[in-house]
A and B are shown apart, each in its own frame.
Chain A
Amino acid sequence: MRNRVINILKNTDGISDWRVLSTRTESTQLFFVHNSLETVRSTDTTDVKVTVYLLHDGAMGEATFSVYSSYDDERIAEEIEKARKKASIISNKPYTIPENEQGEYATASNFTSYAPASLAAKIADACFNADDMEGGSINALEIFVYKDTVSVTNSRGINKTQVKHRAMVEAIPTFTAGESVELYEQYNFTEFDRDRVRDEIAVKMREVKDRYEAKAPEKKLCCPVLLGAPELESLFYNFAYNLNFSAVYQHSNAFSVGDDIQKGAKGDKFSVTMCGAVKGSVSSSAFDADGYTLTDRKIIEDGRAVALFGGVRYAQYLGEVATGNLGCISVECGSLTDYEKRAAPYFRCASMSGLQVDIYNDYIGGEVRLGYYFDGEREIPVTGISISGKLSNAIANMRLSNETVTYESYTGPKCALLGGIEIV
């Protein structure tokens, strides 16, 4: 289909440029109810999206449509003409699409050593192997093994293909002793390591037991809050959004290059680099949807915004050099040692329903489903509470761990200690 579309586009008059982005996704999926296999799924689907660009009256318009497998040549030509007409009524500032690069890429993965169905079964086995705690169980388990083949071709000589392998486990560890509690675990990975999968689930099994035993604190906790990698990923992406070319061009950025984001910082100042790839991350890529080669860029240094990042269109609008649309984020480690961390009480958020970060309203907070209060000697499981505070206060009093961790599309400090947050 992709080649047929490209041939038709090459022979179409009246358009300035075009791009074909296709993604073939092959997957094997397993769905367990408790430890019984309820559903086996397999998919083999391909998305083909065509973008037509049209220069007219000193402006540029573009329109995108999907090409479905049922389309014959005549229908494809009709859809191109419809897109051309749509593009003709759009008058944006012109920009140049990427040019003259070809390549074939494959993200490193040992998934190629396994048949997909066999790999899915091995992942399931690793997960259930962690289900060995008295009173504990995995009440639901979903396993997804994907192979994505992404290709971008355009009228300016871009022709790139990348093969990516990824897997996702969604598990619901549960602990029952009369009453019953659960936690949610979603784990994405690109390399199969049986022990690591087992360990991921085992940690959640221990935590869900702690949630069962956790109680709301008898008195209000007044201490710094310790956030882990999932929350730090969310926090730093919120800052990064404001330094995307698109946000700046659309005037939706809360701060700009040169601004001190961590005004009055008393702790560690953070430095953030947007990246194309992080080892082991399912978000890693060699190029973006425009076919533009991804280039890492440091956007925040010592708490101050130093550069913007993003794709070709808005980069050109702002007169900047594009990085491509970067999917990963790297944060430099700080000075907080484990010894220092344990020198005073803190409240560790182990499982949140979602960290709420609102830069506009200077807010950080959320519901904590499982937390641990460290009283100076031991961590005591706590539940039924929320955290809430002024974001500016929290990051001004932030200490970043000196240990690195990789989580999803984030690599950076394993944890951060934040002051000025209420635990309610």
Chain B
Amino acid sequence: MAEKVGVYVCHCGSNIAGMVDVEAVAKWAGANVKNVAISKDYKFMCSSLGQQMIEDDIKKEGLTRIVVAACSPHLHEKTFRRACQNAGLNPYLCQLTNVREHVSWVAKDKAAATEKVKSLVSAAVARVTHQEPLEKMFVKVNPRTLVIGGGIAGLQATLELADAGYPVTLIEREPSIGGHMAQFDKTFPTLDCSACILTPKMSEVGQHENVTLHTYAELEEVSGSVGNFKVKIRLKAKMVDAEKCTGCGICIEKCPKKVLDTVFEAGMGNRKAIYTPFPQAVPRIPVIDTENCTYFTQGKCKVCAKVCPTEAVDYEQKDEIIEIEVGNIIMATGWKLFDCERIPQYQYKRLDNVYTNMEFERLCNAAGPTNGKIVMRDGKTEPKSIAIIHCVGSRDANFNPYCSGVCCMAALKFGHLVLEKTNAEVYSFYIDMRAPMKDYEEFYQRLLTEGMHFVRGKVAEVNNAARNEREGGKLIVQYEDTLLGKQKRMPFDMVILMGAIEPQADAKELGLKCGISCSMAGWYTERHPKLDPVATMTDGIFVAGACQGPKDIPASVAQGAAAAARVAGMITKGTVMIEPIVASIDEEGCSGCKICNTMCPYNAIEFDEEKSVSRVITALCKGCGTCVAACPAGVITGAHFNNRQIYSEIEGILWDAQPAEVASG
């Protein structure tokens, strides 16, 4: 039976029509392409009028197949499938061919672009006539959600879901939740005390009846798919029995081994070998750092075990792998600070009084190593002048091209704290001052009046080569003042480097475990940069906070809540639709060679010993089609991408080519 295909070529305003002669394509398809019953062009096919046109034509003209030449199927495939369904046509009998992203937006020549669109339309028509109706499949959604990362984004997501009554498992690799926010003293622009607003959320998570919290834990493996993930989690050995420990802290007090804390204190202070990162840690259970503990390195000490009133210290504890089942996963793995040593001309770690922004956060913090006193490395001298260098590793072609987004505001906050706590003069060396969010510009204006100095220009280097008495013993900042157009130098007691926000070192590795990808810079890729900023390309995996891109606290909280809302929606609905694009084997033709069994990465093909044939377990198949291509007997069919459909597509796409002579002779 001949199919009646409707072809609809979209102008997309001028996005397509500006480069492609869409009217000519529509006319050509109507007159020349086999099986085409109707061919039209329209301003915006995705508009409700465009969709209505398709629906009406299906009903009135009895179209049996639809081809839309418009944008990427990743944008509007669902839209047009829905239109078909509304008109009673199986949604899989619709083919969207991408003539915007793949043609009009990348082409230079109008005639060549129009020819390319013709070949894509011809391919889609050829393909669609062989497409088969498919039925959508639904799977149940496990109500439990895994949240990875206990920073502010992860905490917010966890609480939103837990408060809505859904079970959440939160894992955090450090011994306490809290993330970077726990390290800060104040938050811009309101100057709220960071700990005061964060710790209530931390303890709420720690005590919530719907939250299962695993700290000192890392993701090992993820399998399954949306609705039904199986996750393996490594619970690193804390060497402290969480059941017995009361969190009294005597072990920490008595531990004789001091260790430089490069994580929470950013190298500004010490902790013990048995420790919680900070006093308000959640949970309050300490862990033993076995790399530095005297017992683990030298075989004796055991002071912690001796003083523990509940015998909770257990030196024999081993890592444990647990397996849980969840319906959705929210990645909130955060960021790491740029390694400022990578810019040698700023002399970090070579000259004493050059600090990173995280070091300065700890220096300002009332709970930090100096109790919030801003002093130099000698621990007592208050600086008389401080330089803050912006964009260290950000907006720099040698390191990260992007703007880290939060450093300007953090620098303003530092300026305010310096002016409040000391008598020092404070200078900001900025490229551009970025203060776009609510109340940020006002904060900048406030600092201008508070007496912070602003110099527009990038600092070339920091050195200690004094040229005169005034510079003696100081850090000399060499810079270009771009407003004056002059090279200048100025002596300071202290320099703060505003290091960039970078993706976590293992972001890519973790992303691969969950099946999501990273941008070139290493940020997790959201499904759509504007319209779907929390979902990812992999159904059931969501992103929140700075792992998706540099973000300040309000934005991280908003994204955490948004991710939770998406997950809650799926749980409430109870089921999720999965594409029926799966493989199937014609057992009649199967020779039982088992080649496909070894091809499948999901073990979705089982072998029936009795009948000596292979069989696809539909629930496990993800539809990659590798087995289809591998089957020597050609009896595996990949639904919606079967050989007939792809061969036809190749035939159609080469409608204007000269076939090899042999094919005709």
Partners in one complex: no
Q: Which residues of B contact A (CB under 8 A)?
A: none
